[in-house]
Amino acid sequence: MRRPCMLFTVRQMMIMVALVGLNLAGAIATSKYYPRPPYLSVGYGNGRGFIYYKADGTILQGSGNAETGYRLTRVIRRPPRPSLLQIWSPVLASVAITLGVLVVAVRYVASASREVRDTSTAPTLGLSEVR
């Protein structure tokens, strides 16, 4: 059995490379959110204040010293985890664009082959009968 020979034009190769790059970019954009790195509970201070990182991601900052006492000056809350739609939206967008490009390419090839087939069976307008 004879193997089909794959011939690609430069335009087709450029489109394929762009689609592969688009899908890789979507996967990389998704990977920065998932899975989320765990937080460690760590605290440190100096003579002027303290910073304490809690296990839930909250950051507590305070000022003061051991003689006058410490007071809490700032609480920074960890932002909420993004939804699954926000996490996977780059991949969904790249898949949708890839499918759209493939549908357009298949329709273009089908219409081009249909035009070639139609012109080959078209009447010759009597030119072959002219002597």
CA atoms of 58 and 61, how far apart (whole Å): 10
- pLDDT score recorded for residue 10: 79
Domain boundaries, the chain: 10-36+81-97, 37-80
Q: In the structure encoding, which two tokens stand for residue 128, read together?
A: 């072959």
pTM attached to this predicted model: 0.50
CA atoms of 54 and 42, how far apart (whole Å): 7
- pLDDT score recorded for residue 6: 63
Per-residue pLDDT of the chain (131 residues; tens, 9 = 90+): 676 666 677 778 888 888 888 888 888 887 777 666 677 788 888 778 888 888 887 888 888 877 777 788 888 887 777 788 888 888 888 888 888 888 887 777 777 666 655 555 555 555 454 44
Order of all β-strands in the sheet with 59-65? 42-46, 49-53, 59-65, 69-76
- pLDDT score recorded for residue 114: 65
- pLDDT score recorded for residue 5: 64
- pLDDT score recorded for residue 58: 86
- pLDDT score recorded for residue 84: 82
